[in-house]
Amino acid sequence: MSSLPETFDRPVHIAVIGGTGLYKIDGYTPIAQLNPDTPWGKPSAPILILEHNGVPVAFLARHGAHHQYAPHEVPTRANIAALRHIGVRCVIAFSAVGSLQEEIKPMDFVVPDQIIDRTKGIRPFTFFEGGLVGHVPFGDPFDPKIVEVVKKCAASMEGDGVTLHDKGTVICMEGPQFSTRAESNLYRSWGGSVINMSALPEAKLAREAEMAYQMICMATDYDCWHTSEDVDVSMVFHYMNTNGQNAKRLVGAVLDELCLQDNSDLVTAKHWEGQSKNAVSFMTKPEGRNPEALKRAEFLFPGFLDN
Ligand SMILES: CSC[C@H]1O[C@H](OP(=O)(O)O)[C@H](O)[C@@H]1O
Ligand SMILES: Nc1ncnc2[nH]cnc12
């Protein structure tokens, strides 16, 4: 049982979502642990609030504290809603990925700029439904302004030949089984750089929540298209354990930089502000709006459709 306070009275602008093998970040002082109820249920784990130079940062384990949620079971709407509700506007999302290109070697990092959706429609993927319709732009699914920050932090990594690739297309597959060789080769022919099971619906929901969202990927395998061994989980954990320090270093350096800019337009995501309100107010006429759906939207955006 944690003895940390369960409330926190300041807004927390910055969050890290930790993926496979990244269940905590070091070097920050835990100051609270929050487990808010959202209209979409509880997040996958209590949200740890850490402090760095007086700036609070939220950490959330995507698959749960014990990695008990399969990719299709992660309560992503609750995760994003809970983060938004405590004030988060800027999310660094970490992911262990398979490489689809020779030059992206296991242990390399990739900051993707595009996604191809290969999920199967079985994951809840929007906040705007059930009597409130909204269509937000998603041409650039990640955040180019955060990519600039991540690029500046590449020097924080150590090791010979470990590279940070500053763009790439992530294929988000359904899983939980890994791909067939035919699929893996198909994704390569589409120009996929890396593959995971977690980029969606997380990135879509973060966009609906008007957050600056960027995934940082670490390659753990060559999936199954390569002449090297086919991916299995021991391989993923082997590389996460071998290179976990570098992952933590990179995430830590990015956080240091974002903390310095805690109240900036970038960290408070001014560039996405108002998108969802616009998207929604164009679509469903006031007389067609379901009060329950409005209440859910209010949880994300207090005063959402006033005036
Ligand atoms: C354990 S291999 C497959 C698993 O790893 C990745 O997780 P995450 O993105 O949360 O780091 C991938 O997306 C799959 O969920
Ligand atoms: N090869 C792979 N396919 C899907 N998700 C992954 N996560 C890590 N490696 C992966």
**Residue 264 is assigned to a ligand binding site:** no
Output the pTM of the full model.
0.97
The segment with the largest mean pLDDT, out of 54-68, 272-286, 293-307, is: 54-68
pLDDT at residue 124, as a whole number: 97
Tell me whether residue 223 is one of the annotated catalytic residues: yes
CA 186 – ligand 2 centroid, Å? 15
pLDDT tens readout for residues 139-195: 999 999 999 999 999 888 777 678 999 999 999 999 999 999 999 999 999 999 999
Q: Is 160 a catalytic residue?
A: no
Atom nearest to 196 CA in ligand 2: 5
Question: From residue 231, how far is each of 8, 228, 236 by CA, in Å?
Answer: 42, 9, 7
196 CA to centre of ligand 1 in angstroms? 6
Query: Any binding-site annotation on 265?
Result: no
State both tokens at 252.
């830590």
Query: What's the mean per-residue pLDDT of the chain?
Result: 94
Weakest-pLDDT range from 48-52, 148-152, 155-159, 291-295: 155-159
Q: What is the CA radius of gyration of the chain?
A: 19
62 within ligand 1 shell (Cβ under 6 A): yes
Note the ipTM here: 0.99
Cα 288 to Cα 243: distance, rounded to the nearest angstrom:
52
What local confidence, expressed as pLDDT, does residue 97 receive? 97
Question: Residue 68, exposed/middle/buried by CB under 10 A (0-12, 13-18, 19+)?
Answer: exposed
Please identify which of the residues 108, 221, 232, 256 carries the catalytic annotation.
221
Would you state the pLDDT for residue 156?
Answer: 80
Looking from the CA of residue 99, the nearest atom of ligand 2 is 1
Q: What is d(CA 306, CA 275) in angstroms, rounded to the nearest whole number?
A: 15
- 245 pLDDT above the threshold of 90: no
- Give per-residue pLDDT as tens, 80-137: 999 999 999 999 999 999 999 999 999 999 999 999 999 999 999 999 999 999 999 9
Binding-site residues, ligand 2, Cβ < 6 A: 96-98, 173, 178, 195-197, 220-221, 223, 231, 236
Ligand 1 in reach of 80 Cβ (< 6 A): no
- The pLDDT value given to residue 165: 95
Contacts of 88 (CB under 8 A, 6+ apart): 12, 13, 14, 15, 58, 211
- What are the tens digits of pLDDT across the range 187-226? 999 999 999 999 999 999 999 999 999 999 999 999 999 9
Decide: helix, strand or coil at residue 107.
Answer: coil
Q: How far is CA 20 from CA 30, 140, 209, 278, 285, in A?
A: 21, 25, 24, 35, 42
φ, ψ at 9 (rounded to 5°): -100, 10
Annotated binding-site residue? 262: no
- Which tokens hold the place of 54? 């007086």
Distance of CA 228 to the CA centre of its chain: 29
In this prediction, residue 160 carries a pLDDT of 65
Confidence (pLDDT) at 77: 98
Q: For residue 14, give the amino acid letter.
A: I
- Is ligand 1 within 6 A of the CB of residue 198? yes
Question: Which of 20, 117, 184 to mutate for ligand 1's pocket (most ligand atoms within 8 Å of CB)?
Answer: 20
